Structure 1
């Protein structure tokens, strides 16, 4: 079950929550809070909903990729766990969340996958509608499918594999908000929260490429990618796009990547533009410049 289909089933609840969030901005102004908020933009929200709606039509190939591969993995594995045991459900969700962490981290650090995932990060706002800003491109779906196959191979029933991934994705909808401050320390230590996910959507250092977790922020603590929310978050990309056109939002980075590959002078360059980190350049000694761009954003923020 892909994230677009999940959202379709849950859309009534999503719309109610988005309306409540909008009203909270209307009746609780920014000057009532010590933390600055990006707020809600009607144009940006319209872009998010348009991308989501078109994605329902344009992402059918994901099913044809994931379902057969998981079915084959479940058939050939010698391991078979019964969903009648509660601990199998817990194991399935924990492993699905770990697979999501790995997939999500690769989506930020490999440009071919970032060409799809950057769509979700391209909004300069952070609200519940941002959770619906999901790419139409397939590379990220391929990563998800690899994770699904891994769960099936360890004996998780195929239907529970997809259900667990759905739970991981649904959990993340309500944490796309500025309206909830930090939660009690024990919750913040174990779970991904709105505060942690605001950090993940930051384009300024020290927030860039941090807090990849789906449900359990423990993965970031374990693997060295955790940062707590401290200074103001600057949402969006290190180089923002000036458009609300859903087609351009979805394909601008893909077009730029193809242009870089086409213009590369060596095979090292071509492969680097596909599999290197975002910001990698063939004609520089540094592996990536995106961290430098994020640092510049931080310095500019201090200057302001």
Structure 2
């Protein structure tokens, strides 16, 4: 398999889903147009749109690099996993676990938090919040190397990666309440993700799952929604500027690094808690 073949075989699922995504945002906005809780706020919404557009451009520019990375590791490993239904299932579990791991570490180490903080910058939770994907989030692709090196066909892995990404859109809403217990036991729901976006003390660093909540249950990071979430960062960012929202933590890290006087200090600045 080569890069051109991979690009031909991989369906652009995110492009196919775009009408549903934008239609859902418009429907949610219309249903909340007289909402007393102001789930949609004009400046916040346009900030999310600006961040989302920047992310789309960057995704387009880096698409070939992402494909190349997946193909590179697939080609250098000596084993192959035959493509069958069970390989698709295994691929999805691996992708989802890599996502959980990357998400968990992004909340624990400052340099990775810089690639994720943008997503938590809104003090609202609605479908447009899902557009707030950091412009530097591709740095976290290193956490997916176990998937690329699994021996599973890259087309299968990258398809599962797209499905996993699309799943995360619908959980960014307050319009959907609690779902049946069996579903909430296995899958991430809007209720679970409202907890993750909450800055309440009991909600901080909880529910890292992207589509499967089982990892949080297994590793002790699960929290049920038992009080109203307060959205946003513990230290709110007083800006709606997409560029600032993407790079303010990077700027803080650079400022601190300039004053570091030892390797230990540099390590602490980069990999200490946010």
With the length of structure 1 as denominator, give the TM-score of the two structures.
Answer: 0.81
**What does residue range 183-202 of structure 1 map to in structure 2 within 5 Å?**
183-202=179-198
Distance 1:201 1:38 in 2: 17
Does residue 18 (structure 1) correspond to residue 15 (structure 2)? The answer is no
Q: Secondary structure at the match of 1:187?
A: helix
SS in 2 for 1:109: coil
Q: How many residues align?
A: 264
- 1:38 deviates by 5.8
RMSD: 1.9
SS of the aligned residue for 1:238 comes to: coil
**Which residue is equivalent to 2:52?**
52
Contact 1:175/1:194 (<8 A) preserved: yes
Structure 1 counterpart of 2:69 = 69
In 1, the alpha carbon distance for the partners of 2:221 and 2:148 equals 27
**Relative contact order (alpha carbons < 8 A, sep ≥ 6): 1 or 2 greater?**
2
Change (3 A) 1:9 1:240: farther
Contact 1:38/1:126 (<8 A) preserved:
no
Deviation of the 1:142 alpha carbon: 2.9
Residue 79 of structure 1 and its aligned partner are, at CA, apart by: 2.2
Residue 55 of structure 1 deviates from its aligned partner by 2.3
Q: Give the conservation status (yes or no) of the 8 Å contact 2:48–2:128.
A: yes
- Aligned in 2, Cα 1:99/1:122: closer, same or farther, shift over 3 Å? same
Is 2:149 aligned against 1:142? Answer: no
Partner of residue 33, structure 1: none
SS in 2 for 1:116: coil
Which structure 2 residue ranges, 5 or more long, are not aligned? Answer: 1-5, 7-11
Residues of 1 paired with 2:142 and 2:263: CA distance? 28
Measured in 1, the distance between the counterparts of 2:264 and 2:77 equals 38
Residues 34-45 of structure 1 mapped to structure 2, 5 A cutoff: 39-45=39-45
Structure 1 residue 202, shift from structure 2 partner: 1.0
State which drifts further: 63-72 or 127-136: 63-72
2-side partners of 1:102 and 1:62: how far apart? 22
Distance 2:260 2:208 in 1: 31
Structure 2 match to 1:100: 99
Output one character per residue of 1:35-61: Cα deviation in whole Å (capped at 9) or x when no partner: xx5611121111111111122334556
Query: Does the alignment pair 1:224 with 2:220?
Result: yes
Contact 2:115 2:139 in 1 (8 A): no
TM-score (norm 2): 0.90
Cα distance per residue 1:83-126 (max 9 Å; x no partner): 2x211111111111011100111111111111120001001010
Partners in 2 of 1:153 and 1:195 — Cα distance?
A: 34
How far apart, in 2, do the equivalents of 1:7 and 1:126 lie? 21
Unpaired runs of at least 5, structure 1: 31-36, 279-304
Query: Which aligned runs of 4 or more in structure 1 are off by greater than 4 angstroms?
Result: 5-9
SS of match in other structure, 2:114: helix
